[in-house]
Amino acid sequence: MNGQTVLLVEDDPTVATCLNSMLDCDGHHVLQAQNGFEAISLGRLHRSGIGLILCDVQLRGESGAALALNLREFCPQARVLFLSGYPLDVLLERHLLERPAFEEGWAFFLQKPFVIGQLRDAIGCALEPRPDCVGTTTFRRMFPHAAAAY
């Protein structure tokens, strides 16, 4: 799904530049923020136009999950694709991410490192959920009710 406005929240400049290039090449309009303050400012300014928030789970000095919840207060239509080097089950166990976000269908997850095809698939699933989006063993095991809903 091309042409969406994506709010990219990543505090690592190298990763942010790479992700920005990938998203731009796929035809997305990218709003880039290095921290929560910048993300909130961009979110308020572009509130109704943001289709996807692409957010690192652990930002320097702040929680990507808490930031995403704050952003969704004024961008309720936005889906969130969380990125982390840690597996989803570990993040859930440590309460760095919360199950309801996934069960409600607005949060998605992609583990680093990934290749561009995996990012494209994850973005497509976040923007336009379909049965194969929840087909991973991890997702089905953790969110059986959400998987059944598709």
Sign of CA dihedral 108, 111, 113, 117: negative
Q: What is the pLDDT of residue 35?
A: 94
Query: Which residues lie below 8 Å from residue 77, measured CB to CB, with a gap of 6+?
Result: 48, 50, 51
Residues 23 and 116: their CA atoms lie apart, in Å, by 9
**CB of 35 within 8 A of CB of 11?**
yes
Residues 25 and 56: their CA atoms lie apart, in Å, by 20
Number of domains in the chain: 1
Domain that holds residue 94: 5-149
**Residue 132 per-residue DSSP state:** G
pTM value is 0.86
DSSP string, 13-33: HHHHHHHHHHHHHTT-EEEEE
**Residue 28 per-residue DSSP state:** -
What does the pLDDT look like over 57-104, one tens digit per residue? Answer: 999 888 999 999 999 999 999 999 999 999 999 999 999 998 888 888
What does the pLDDT look like over 105-122, one tens digit per residue? Answer: 889 999 999 888 899 989
Q: What is the pLDDT of residue 104?
A: 86
- CATH number for the domain spanning 103: value is 3.40.50.2300
Determine which helix (DSSP H) or strand (DSSP E) holds 68, and give its type and residue range.
Answer: helix 64-74
What does the pLDDT look like over 28-54, one tens digit per residue? Answer: 999 999 999 999 999 999 988 999 999
Residues 143 and 53: their CA atoms lie apart, in Å, by 21
The number of C-alpha atoms within 13 Å of 41 and in the hemisphere containing its C-beta is: 7
Residues 115 and 63: their CA atoms lie apart, in Å, by 24
